[in-house]
Amino acid sequence: MSYKALYRVWRPQKLEDVAGQHHITQTLQNALGKEKFSHAYLFSGPRGTGKTSAAKILAKAINCKQAPVQEPCNECAACRGIDDGSVVDIIEIDAASNNGVDEIRYIRDNVIAAPRDVRYKVYIIDEVHMLSTGAFNALLKTLEEPPKHAVFILATTEPHKIPLTIVSRCQRFDFKQITSRDLVDRMTFVLKEEGIEAEEEALHLIARAAEGGMRDALSLLDQAVSFSEGKISSEDVLAVTGSVSQQFLTKVVHALEDKDTPSALASADQMIREGKDPLQFMGDIIYYFRDMLLYQTAPGLNEMMDRVTVDETFEELAKKMDTARLYEVINQLNQYHQEMKGASHPKIFLEMALINICHTTESSSAPQNAADQSEIQSLKEKISDLEQQVKAVKTPAAANADTSGKRDTGSARPETSTPAAGISTTRGIDGRIRQVLTRATKQDLQAVMNEWSAVMKEVKQQSVPGHAWLSDAKPVVSDGETVLLAFQNEMHRSMVDTKFRELVESAMQTAGRPLQLLTVQSAQWEKIKEEFKQQYKEKDEEEEDAGDGQEDTEDPIVDEAVKLVGSDLVEIEE
């Protein structure tokens, strides 16, 4: 095979060629120049950032005929032999497939032998975190007291999996993700040497898709070269990487902001029909909103944007969208993105996310757009006055409440349907929940629980998305006319309450329980429940105190009898 991939042809031959790792290359150059290199190194960092390349360059530099040198000459017999693999003293081991104790014991037994072709034996162990515990133990003693002619270079993408006893015996260098600017500069150099033309925007798209890895960037560039016919264009890169253009993302974001659900869904369907990945598309939208948030809060940091090039259309859209709304949309999309990763049909979650954002935009942004600070302050004052009036009305009502009624100890409600003293019947969801609590029984809740699986089955038959939203709910209280569902996730509660209420109530009627539906978030439900219990506890104490006062006014003879035998055995006849 005569053709070689670009990342192999343009693998760095000197430390200065390793892009984006100046903090490492300068340290190694100084150590090599002074011939003060270590017997063991640990190179860690993301894939494609230059760990193995730096290890080979280091092996050449310490064995170069011109040593001590900061860079290998790449011309002497040792340097050329290491490049073509003919020098047997440079041993590369893939720990992913050679991770047993026997392989490490072989190294330990052979490391004592003097090198044949060069001055130093160099063992490069790639993906060293894959070694077994026994293999690490076998390597430990050799790393601690190696022969003078041996150097170990360990490379890994997951340093946290390496025992600390190994790490402490090595000089550790952490390779970082390569910046988009460095990736573009390197690709520009490669294309110039190869005599290939490419658009600047195309190289930036490749750099974004590579996510900080030079090997990935050169591999994508290689694909784009093969795909294109002449000059590499942005469209060629989008086709190769499976990404979508900024114009397409802007179109989708416009649809979301305008609450144009059909347009948003049509764009998603078009993207999937063209073979794009829904998961990557969701990530692109999240980054688009992230870049917009960055532009609004720190407009001078355009170089930090990952998916967007600031143009006139983007600026107009950024001015149109509210910052608080951006926070909300990013959080919503991130939740759906997490759910999509393990889903069998990620397209459904993508469509649900778009629908949800379109239908929550108006309700989320209306208060900020419709009311100014003076109106808000006026409303606060009115609410405060109403609270004082309600408090004044409740106080005498509680003092004059009838304390003769008794509650059934086996039931969660008093025998009378009148709201208990201290339970407010204010408007809103909290007031409605408290009204249900005053009438609720354990029997009513148990009846709903017995039929809940049938309700869920009926909902799933009618609507799979509705069933997915409802799966987060749990019936917590019922009074025979209304059932309260508690949701762990506010987004799920909102969707069921606004979009699937009629479907759930219809399913309960089909299952034999025609009930009205109330929804609440679990945290809010726990708070209301505790307040309700506390208010009933206070009422019981008031009733007990009133009973004690009444006993003090009884006949002294009756009081003495009660003290002797107890109130249960005393019967008073007029």
HEC letters along 134-203: HHHHHHHHHHHCCCCCEEEEEEECCHHHCCHHHHCCCEEEECCCCCHHHHHHHHHHHHHHHCCCECHHHH
Quick check: helix, strand or coil at residue 418?
Answer: coil
**pLDDT (tens digit, 9 = 90+) per residue, 343-379?**
888 888 888 888 888 887 444 444 444 445 666 766 7
CA atoms within 13 A on the CB side of 35: 8
Query: What rounded mean pLDDT belongs to the chain?
Result: 81
Q: How far apart are CA 358 and CA 256, in angstroms?
A: 5
Instruction: List the structure tokens of 513.
Output: 């329980």
According to CATH, where is 3.40.50.300 located in the chain?
6-174
Residue predicted with more confidence, 187 or 388:
187
| pLDDT tens profile 455-464 | 888 888 888 8
Give the residue with greater pLDDT, 16 vs 395.
Answer: 16
* Calpha distance 178→214 (Å, rounded): 7
Tokens 């408007």 correspond to 427
Cis bond before residue 299 (omega within 30° of 0): no
Q: Is the pLDDT of residue 223 over 70?
A: yes
Look at residue 396 and tell me whether its pLDDT is greater than 60. Answer: no
Specify the CATH number of the domain 442-529: 3.30.300.180
Ranges 254-268, 370-384, 392-406, 465-479: which has the least confidence: 392-406
Residue 554 or residue 87, greater confidence: 87
Q: Quick one: pLDDT at residue 63? A: 92
pLDDT at 216 over 60: yes
The whole-model pTM stands at: 0.57
Rg of the Cα atoms in the chain: 36
Q: Which helix (H) or strand (E) holds 339?
A: helix 323-341
Give the model's confidence band at 171: pLDDT under 50 very low, under 70 low, under 90 confident, else very high.
very high
Q: Token digits for 465?
A: 């998305």
Q: Is 43 helix (H, G, I), strand (E, B) or coil?
A: strand
Label residue 568 by pLDDT band (50, 70, 90): low
For the chain, give every residue range classified as CATH 1.10.8.60: 180-241
Higher pLDDT, 92 or 362: 92
Give the CATH fold of the 6-174 domain: Rossmann fold (3.40.50)
What CATH number does the domain located at 180-241 have?
A: 1.10.8.60
**How high is the pLDDT of residue 367?**
45
Three-class SS of residue 222? Answer: helix
More confident residue, 293 or 569: 293
Specify the higher pLDDT residue, 264 or 571: 264
Give the Cα separation of 304 and 145 in Å (integer): 46
